[in-house]
Amino acid sequence: MPKVLSRSKLIGMEVYNPDATKVGTVRDLGLSPEEGKIFLIIATVAGGEVEVPWDNVGEVGDIILLKEAVKVEKPAVPVTKPAKPEVKPAVPTAAKPAQVLCPTCGKPARWIPQYKRWWCDNCRKYLPPTYPPPSTAATPTTTPTAAKPAQVLCPTCGKPARWIPQYKRWWCDNCRKYL
């Protein structure tokens, strides 16, 4: 019986060329209706994006290994980042956590007061509006190395995640991936 891979398992996986050079990370899957082919949409290490046909996937395990090398080039047009919001005078507001890690890549997110949301510069996207859960909120006076939050839910499946101290990241046992 053939193994079925869910989209949620593939997204976030690292992709490598046959010579073990990193291509990037799977951002999404795409379908070409004209060709009837599935493509991996990969955010490359150079900051661009490349589409790789599923036919070029050799092995899928903890990583994705390609059959043929994919050339990774810097994008011709720089990837635009959202404009930074204007800095307005501080208005007393509810306390926000001192440091929140992106559930997708694990890198620190920054608070955008104008939108009252967390932004991940690495993934170039906002974190879910309900992230982090209120139980994880710390006061701004805590140090950046504050203890891990009490509980985090997986943004993909909604089930509780487990903290892995060695990697300082959350792991979802249901989705079998890091948040």
Q: What is the pLDDT of residues 78-114, one digit of tens each?
A: 556 566 666 555 544 555 445 788 888 888 888 888 8
The CA distances from residue 139 to 8, 101, 143, 168, 177, in Å, are 33, 15, 9, 20, 29
**What pLDDT, in 10s, does the model give residues 125-145?**
888 877 765 544 443 333 344
Break the chain down into helix, strand, coil percent, rounded to 5.
5, 30, 60
For the chain, residues classed under CATH 2.30.30.240 are 7-66
d(CA 130, CA 174): 20
At residue 134, φ and ψ (nearest 5 deg) are -55, -30
| pLDDT score of 152 more than 90 | no
Check whether domain 7-66 has CATH 3.40.50.300, yes or no:
no
**What pLDDT, in 10s, does the model give residues 58-82?**
988 889 999 999 888 776 665 565 6
What pTM does this model have? 0.42
> Token pair 């309900």 is at which residue?
130
